[in-house]
Amino acid sequence: MFPSLCCVSSPAVHLPDGPRLGGHRSQRVVPDVAPAVGAVLDALPAPAVLLDADGTIVLVNAAWTEQLRHRPGLPVSVGGDYTEAVLAVRDDPDVRDLLAALGELSSRGGPMVSVDVPLAPGQAGRWVHVQATRVDDAGRLVVTHTDITARVEAVRGAARASRYDDLTELPNRVHLQELIDDELAAPGGLPVAVLFLDVDGFKAVNDSLGHDAGDELIREVALRLAAHTRTEDTVGRLGGDEFVVLGRGCDEADAAALALRCQGAFAEPFAVDGQTVPLTVSIGIAVTDGSGDGRAGDLVRDADLAMYAAKSAGRNAVRLFSPELRVAAQRRLWVAGELREAIATDQLVVHYQPLMHLRTRAVTGVEALVRWQHPTRGLLPPGDFVPVAEANGLVDELTRWVLGTVARDAAAWDAMGLPLTAAVNISATHIGSGTLVADVTAALTASGLRPERLVVELTETSVAEDPERAAAQFAELRVSGIEVSIDDFGSGFSCLGQIVSMPAGILKIDRSLVAGVAAADHKEASQSAAAVETVVGLARACGMRSVAEGIETEAQLALVAALGCTYGQGFHIARPMPAEDLPRWLGSRSRRRAVVPG
C-alpha cells in the first residue's frame, strides 16, 4: 500500500546504493516481541507496523487491524515481507527510493524517514504520510502510515482557490497576471492583447434581484464570454462584474475583432430568476507589440483606463488605450490629492444663482454651486473636480462641506430678513452611501437653519441609477420639512414611472429644452415649447412645481412663464455670485424694480 515519493511537503529521499529492506531476508521464524512493545504500538493512533532488520513484519498495531477490517485484502500482514508487500502494490523508482531509505535507516541509523506519498492508482486520490523510526540497535523499525488525504485536498483546494475564481472557476487576478506575464515572456515575438470588460448596469440587477441572482448572472456572463472567444484566448474574472480576456497573438485589429465578439455575448438578454435582463458591456483594449517588454500589471492597468474611457463615453463602447489616457489618470490622481487638502483647508467656495418666481418676478431662492479657489490655477468650476471626487471616494466629504456652508449662509440671510431657500446638488454616489439624511440633519442642527429653507437636488439620470434607495431617503427628508428637487429633467431617458413615483416637490426642466423655445427655427421652437409644456403639465399632475433652467434671454423668460413654469433661473436673471454679494444684489434689484412704472 505504500508507494512513491511524489511528495507534497517533504522532498524525495535519494540515497546511495546500500542494504535494502528484505534484500537478504532469512527464512527464520519471527522472533518473540515483549508485550510492552505491542502495547506501545497499539497506543499509536495511526496504522503502524514493526519491521525486523530484514524487512519481516513483526507486529501490526490495533489501528492497522481496524484498517484491515474496513479495507480487506491489503497485502501487509504479520510474518510477511514489507518490501514485497509494498512492491506488489506499486513498483516504480520512487517506491524503491523509499525502501532504500528504510533499509539505510535500519542498517546505519540516522534521522527518521518522513515523507508524504500518494496511494496506488487503484486508490487514486488518497495520500498517506509515512514515518519510520529505528527503535533498537538490531535495526528494527516502527513505520506509521497516517492518512492525510483531507489535508492534501485542503492544500490543493487552497492552491486552486488562490488562482481561480470560486464563482465562475475562471482564472482570478493572480493567475491572470501569471498567464499574461508568461505570454509576454514567451519566445516568438507575437503581440499580446488584454481586454478589460465591465458589465454595464450589473449593480442595478444585483440590488433589485438580490445577490444570488447576481451570482447566477455572473456565471452566465462567464459562460457566454468563454463561448464567444477563441480557443487560444483566456477569459478570467477580476471580481464583481469585471472580466479580463487575454488574447494571444492579437494585434490591434485582432483585438478589436475580439472585443466585438465579446460584445456579441451580450446581444441576447440574460434569463435570471425568471426574468429577462438586457445587459451591455464596456471594453478597454491594451496591446503589446510582442517585443517582450512590459508587465502584466501595466497591461491590465492600461486596458482598465481604456475601459474607463469607454464607460465615460456612454457605455456599451470599445476604446483602445493611448498614452493620453494614462496622463489623464495621473492628473486625476494628482487632483484627488489636492482636492482632499482643499476640503480640509477651506479652499472651496460656494456661489449662489438666484431663482425667480415667474409670476411675481420675486427672487425666492438660490442654487448653491461649489467652486474651488485653487492656489495656482484660479477659480475652478465643479466639472474640473466633482467627477474626480466621485471616482476617489471624496464626494461624501465634499457634499458634507457644501451642506454645512450653505446651511450657515442661508441661516445668516434668514437673520438679515432674506428668507431664501437654498438648493444643494447631491451626487448619486452620496445617495448610494446611505448617509444623506444624517448629513443633511447634521448641517441643519449645526447652523440652526429651518428645514423648509433647504432643498436637495438629484439629477434625473442619478435617480434612475437607484430609484428605490433615492425614494426612501427623499421621503425621509420631506417628512422632516426639507424639499426635494429632480434636476435636469429631459436630459436623460429614465423611466417615467420612476420620476412620477419619486417623493419630490420640484421638477427642474433641462436647459436643452428651454434653449429651444425661442429658437429662430419655427419647428424647433414649437417642439421645444411642446416639450416644456408637457413637463410642466407632468409636474402639476404630480403635485410638483416646475423650474426652467438656463434662461438666457428675455424671450425665453417670457415664453417659459407663458407655458406655466413656476420658477426660472439662468444668466438672464443673474449669474452665480459669492454669498456676500447676494444681499447687495437683491437690494439693488429691489431699488430698480421700485422705479420701474407699474
User: Rg (Cα) of the chain, in Å, rounded?
Assistant: 38
pLDDT score at 12: 33
pLDDT score at 533: 92
If we measure between CA atoms, which residue out of 516, 594, 531 comes closest to residue 565? 531
Place 591 in a pLDDT band, splitting at 50, 70 and 90: low
If we measure between CA atoms, which residue out of 53, 49, 59, 58 comes closest to residue 19? 53
Q: What is the mean pLDDT of residues 107-126?
A: 76
pLDDT score at 253: 94
pLDDT score at 34: 60
Percent of the chain with pLDDT over 90: 47
Which of 30-44, 150-164, 176-190 comes out lowest in average pLDDT? 30-44
Place 369 in a pLDDT band, splitting at 50, 70 and 90: very high
Q: What is the mean pLDDT of residues 192-210?
A: 86
Residue 156 to residue 153: CA distance in whole angstroms = 5
Residue 481 to residue 505: CA distance in whole angstroms = 11
The answer to whether the CB of 321 falls within 8 A of the CB of 305 is: yes
Instruction: Reply yes or no on whether the pLDDT at 329 is more than 90.
Output: no
Instruction: Reply yes or no on whether the pLDDT at 447 is more than 90.
Output: yes
Phi-psi region of 292 (alpha: psi -120 to 50; beta: other; left: phi over 0): left
**Average pLDDT of every residue of the chain:** 84
The answer to whether the CB of 501 falls within 8 A of the CB of 520 is: no
Residue 83 to residue 287: CA distance in whole angstroms = 59
Of the two residues 145 and 70, the one the predictor is more confident about is 145
> Exposure pattern of 523-560 as b/e (b: 16+ CB <10 Å)?
eebeebbebbbebbebbeeeebbbbbbbbeeeebbebb
Of the two residues 187 and 15, the one the predictor is more confident about is 187
Of the two residues 497 and 234, the one the predictor is more confident about is 234
Which of 63-77, 82-96, 450-464 comes out lowest in average pLDDT? 63-77
pLDDT score at 272: 85
pLDDT score at 267: 93
If we measure between CA atoms, which residue out of 249, 269, 250, 273 comes closest to residue 260? 250
- 35-153 placed in CATH 2.40.50.100: no
C-alpha torsion 21→22→25→30, nearest 10: 80
Instruction: Measure Cα distances from 349 to 84, 368, 439, 473, 594 in Å.
Output: 89, 10, 19, 27, 32
Residue 262 to residue 258: CA distance in whole angstroms = 6
Helices (H), 457-543: 460-465, 467-479, 496-501, 511-516, 522-541
Contacting residues for 362 by C-beta, under 8 A, at least 6 apart: 356
The answer to whether the CB of 241 falls within 8 A of the CB of 315 is: no
Fold of 332-582: TIM Barrel (3.20.20)
Is residue 561 classed as helix, strand or coil in its secondary structure?
helix
Place 555 in a pLDDT band, splitting at 50, 70 and 90: very high
The amino acid at residue 58 is V
Instruction: Reply yes or no on whether the pLDDT at 495 is more than 80.
Output: no
Please, how many CA atoms are within 13 Å of residue 116, restricted to the half-sphere of its CB? 16
Q: What is the mean pLDDT of residues 176-195?
A: 89
C-alpha torsion 180→186→189→193, nearest 10: -10
What do you get for the CA distance between the two ends of the chain, in Å?
111
Which of 86-95, 479-488, 586-595 comes out lowest in average pLDDT? 586-595
Of the two residues 10 and 456, the one the predictor is more confident about is 456
Q: What is the mean pLDDT of residues 131-144?
A: 91
The answer to whether the CB of 508 falls within 8 A of the CB of 489 is: yes
Instruction: Measure Cα distances from 557 to 280, 359, 567 in Å.
Output: 41, 11, 10
C-alpha torsion 76→77→80→85, nearest 10: -10
pLDDT digits (tens, 9 = 90+) for 232-245: 999 999 999 999 99
pLDDT digits (tens, 9 = 90+) for 24-57: 433 334 455 567 777 888 888 889 999 999 999 9
If we measure between CA atoms, which residue out of 87, 89, 88 comes closest to residue 102? 87
Q: How far is CA 572 from the centre of its chain?
A: 45
Residue 359, C-alpha cell as written in the block: 409670476
pLDDT score at 557: 95
Give the phi and the psi of residue 56 in degrees, each rounded to 5.
-70, 140
pLDDT score at 16: 33
Beta bridge partners of 245: 195, 235
Percent of the chain with pLDDT over 70: 87
Write down how long the chain is: 598
Of the two residues 125 and 191, the one the predictor is more confident about is 191
pLDDT digits (tens, 9 = 90+) for 518-539: 888 888 889 989 999 999 998 8
pLDDT score at 487: 84
The answer to whether the CB of 233 falls within 8 A of the CB of 175 is: no
Instruction: Measure Cα distances from 589 to 358, 422, 584 in Å.
Output: 15, 19, 8
Q: How far is CA 115 from the centre of its chain?
A: 42
Residue 553 to residue 39: CA distance in whole angstroms = 105
Instruction: Measure Cα distances from 223 to 57, 168, 265, 537, 585 in Å.
Output: 55, 8, 9, 48, 63
CB count, 10 Å around CB of 82?
25
Highest mean pLDDT among 127-141, 200-214, 567-581: 567-581
Instruction: Reply yes or no on whether the pLDDT at 559 is more than 90.
Output: yes
CATH of the structural domain 164-321, one choice from 1.10.3720.10, 3.30.70.270, 3.80.10.10, 3.40.50.10440: 3.30.70.270
Place 307 in a pLDDT band, splitting at 50, 70 and 90: very high
Is residue 351 classed as helix, strand or coil in its secondary structure?
strand
Q: DSSP labels for 89-125?
A: H--SHHHHHHHHHHHHHHHH--SPEEEEEE--GGGTT
pLDDT digits (tens, 9 = 90+) for 388-446: 888 788 889 999 999 999 999 999 999 999 999 999 998 888 887 888 999 999 999 99
Instruction: Reply yes or no on whether the pLDDT at 492 is more than 60.
Output: no
C-alpha torsion 135→136→140→144, nearest 10: 0
The amino acid at residue 289 is D
pLDDT score at 512: 87
pLDDT digits (tens, 9 = 90+) for 93-115: 877 888 899 999 999 988 999 88
pLDDT score at 8: 33
pLDDT score at 168: 93
Domain boundary assignment for the chain = 35-153, 164-321, 332-582
Q: What is the mean pLDDT of residues 468-484?
A: 89
pLDDT score at 593: 60
pLDDT score at 519: 84
